[in-house]
Amino acid sequence: MKISIITSVFNNKEHITEAIESVLNQSYKNIEYIIIDGASTDGTTEIIKSYKDKIDKFISEPDEGIYDGLNKGIHLATGDVIGFLHSDDFYLYDQVLEEVVNVFKSKECDGVYGNLIYVDKDDTNRVVRQWDSGEFKYENLKKGWMPPHPAFFIKREVYDNFGVFDTGFKISADYNFMLKILSSQKFTACYLPHVLYVMRIGGTSNKSIRNLIQKSKEDLRALKQNRVGSLAALFFKNISKIPQFFRRKLNQKQ
């Protein structure tokens, strides 16, 4: 089983090497690694090119943001399963993709997801927040439940059936897409109950009050568009994040 991992990046020479090494160091080797660069000007492309013999597909050209870049990667992907690794982030350990593939091989799943931790941007040993997903139940979508998108691996055929990210959403296109597939009730998901993915704090959605407001508006639009819920679901979605700040474990498996 081939797994395609896609990284969309723009001007991130500080962390792109760590992201690339995180993929290349995985114990599972049937990986198609795709990097989509938005025409970086800070030296990012030069770093990526230094790995040209180990990266399967690389494009550097202007784009319309991260979701446009991810969509380009999806269209290029030939793997049975597609996952994303953002340029600030990394997998917690080298067997993550091997474990994910083993679940796909052993169970009937359209998608496999796990947990995620947020860490300090400069000190990645300092855990700020831990997102423990829990088992998927359709009724929980109306309570704001959602797995962390970067720790969500999905069969390529799902994108063939449901389409790619709606770039009309500038911050919440991933949330909108997950609502679309999970609310269809035709999608089967399997849960790996431990941390797979490490994300640095400071993403687009929480860089400013303005972005937080825009994200809330987009989340609400996604909930209504997919007929999952409205203000109540959005309220519970935001409230559910509070306990995550009290879980600060940097263990491989909890």
pLDDT (0 to 100) of residue 242: 73
Residue at 62 is within a domain: yes
Residue at 170 is within a domain: yes
- Domain count of the fold of the chain: 1
Residue at 251 is within a domain: no
Residue at 20 is within a domain: yes
3-state SS class at 9: strand
Contact status, residue 23 vs residue 85, Cβ threshold 8 Å: yes
Which amino acid is residue 196, in one-letter code?
A: L
Q: What is the CATH number of the domain that holds 229?
A: 3.90.550.10
Which amino acid is residue 224, in one-letter code?
A: K
Question: What b/e readout covers 21-54, taking b as 16+ CB neighbours within 10 angstroms?
Answer: ebbeebebeebbbbbbbbebeeebbebbeebeee
Contact status, residue 184 vs residue 233, Cβ threshold 8 Å: no
Which amino acid is residue 99, in one-letter code?
A: E
Query: Token pair for residue 68?
Result: 């446009």
Residue with tokens 């943001």: 65
pLDDT (0 to 100) of residue 254: 40
pLDDT of the chain, 254 residues: tens digit per residue: 999 999 999 999 999 999 999 999 999 999 999 999 999 999 999 999 999 999 999 999 999 999 999 999 999 999 999 999 999 999 999 999 999 999 999 999 999 999 999 999 999 999 999 999 999 998 899 888 999 999 999 999 999 999 999 999 999 999 999 999 999 988 999 999 999 999 999 755 555 678 888 998 998 999 999 998 777 777 767 777 777 777 655 443 44
pLDDT (0 to 100) of residue 248: 55
| Alpha-carbon distances of 79 from 23, 24, 30, 101, 156, rounded to whole Å | 15, 16, 9, 12, 7
Residue at 45 is within a domain: yes
pLDDT (0 to 100) of residue 207: 54
Where in the sequence is the domain holding 73, given as residue range(s)?
A: 3-246
Residue at 229 is within a domain: yes
